[in-house]
Amino acid sequence: MGFFGCHLSSSGGNLKMVETALSIGANTFAFFTRNPRGSRARPEDPQDAAAAYSLMKESGFGPLVAHGSYTMNLCTKDPESRAFAAEILEQDLRRMAALPGNYYNFHPGSHVGQGVETGIQQIVDALRSALAPKYPVTVLLETMAGKGSEIGGVFSQLRAILDGVDSDALGVCLDTCHVWDGGYDIVHDLDGVLTEFDRIIGLKRLKAIHLNDSKNEKHSRKDRHACLGEGLLGLETFRKIVRHPQLQGIPMILETPNELPGYQREISVLRMLEAE
């Protein structure tokens, strides 16, 4: 049985998220480590984390996939803002130690005109220092749509970051909407894209998947998520993904435009596709 979940609000704490996940048939979930459009984080609560952790284990959850704030740009131009982003990353990884063995995914960053090479170097520098204390968390670079000056819209850029950081604590989260919008044809050639991923990044680095349909054409570089089956990817693509032998055991997170009932419905659709 696959690990399926969705983004949940963290405002009620960790245990509340596990309970909510259970109530909608999920066995993993994602949450923002702080306000997604800002930098404020909830106060830490070790008791709540311990209770959440034991309920997760008891219920056979797969790894969680926390998400860094959208505003955290490790390769922004202004050195002070860049240092602040790196500080946020370090704090987030330290906080993830309360839920050991899970994943922390983030958007590599936007180079805002500094150039891809400079951007990648700045991301590498921030990751090297944030990963130095060796927290019990695997950090995931998300595949991006390549909107604006986003880094991570092509697999080779993620490879350059992996090479620069050179750490086993680093993996990749594949977002289905983003790779499609970035030009990878997972609709007609999922196997080909996975082969390309394996050749450039290595499938052993693939730790999580974001399941989103896309409102736009392949290579549109737009990044607009649609509900499963309501975009250009279509349910057949998700059927292939959840049943793919090379993708078993990987937590798959919905980031579709839904509230809880919609997520619950999509999770049951995924379970049906998986069992067909």
Phi then psi for residue 210, to 5 deg, are -100, 120
Catalytic residue among 7, 34, 67, 111: 67
Angle at which helices 234-243 and 190-200 pack, to 10 degrees?
Answer: 50
Q: What is the DSSP string of 207-272?
A: EEEEE-EESS-TT-----EE-TTSSSSHHHHHHHHHH-GGGTT--EEE-SS--HHHHHHHHHHHHH
**Is 188 known to be catalytic?**
no
The footprint of Zn ion (CB under 5 A) covers 223
Identity of the residue, 130 or 208, whose beta carbon is nearer to Fe ion in the bound complex: 208
User: Is 90 marked active-site?
Assistant: no
109 touches 123 (CB < 8 A)? yes
Query: Residue with CB nearest Zn ion?
Result: 223
Q: For residues 65 and 120, which CB has a smaller minimum distance to Fe ion in the complex?
A: 65
Three-class SS of residue 143?
Answer: coil
Active site residue 67: yes
Min dist CB 105 to Fe ion, Å, is 7
CB of 146 to Zn ion, least distance (A): 11
Question: Which residue in the list 92, 150, 175, 213 is annotated as catalytic?
Answer: 175
- Mark whether 175 is an active-site residue: yes
Active site includes 7? Answer: no
The answer to whether residue 259 is catalytic is no
Contact segment (CB under 5 A) with Fe ion among 7-15, 132-140, 142-150, 243-251 equals 142-150
Residues 173-232 that bind Fe ion (CB under 5 A): 175, 210
Give the type of residue at 230: E
Q: Please tell me the total number of residues recorded for the chain in this structure.
A: 276
Judged by CB under 5 A, the stretch of 32-40, 54-62, 92-100, 255-263 that binds Fe ion is 255-263
142, 150, 181, 213: the active-site residue: 142
Paired residues of 4 in beta bridges: 252
182: left (phi over 0), alpha (psi -120 to 50) or beta: alpha
Give CA–CA dist 223/149, Å, rounded.
13
Closest CB to Fe ion among 175 and 266? 175
Q: Which of 185, 169, 178 is nearest to 223 (CA)?
A: 178
To the query of whether residue 225 is one of the catalytic residues in this protein, the response is yes
Number of residues that bind Fe ion (CB under 5 A): 4
Active-site annotation holds for 107: yes
- Residue 223 interaction partner, one of Zn ion, Fe ion, none, beta carbon < 5-8 Å per kind: Zn ion
Token readout for 35 is: 């306000």
- Which residues of the shown chain bind Fe ion in the complex (CB under 5 A)? 142, 175, 210, 255
Residues known to be catalytic: 37, 67, 70, 107, 142, 175, 178, 210, 223, 225, 255
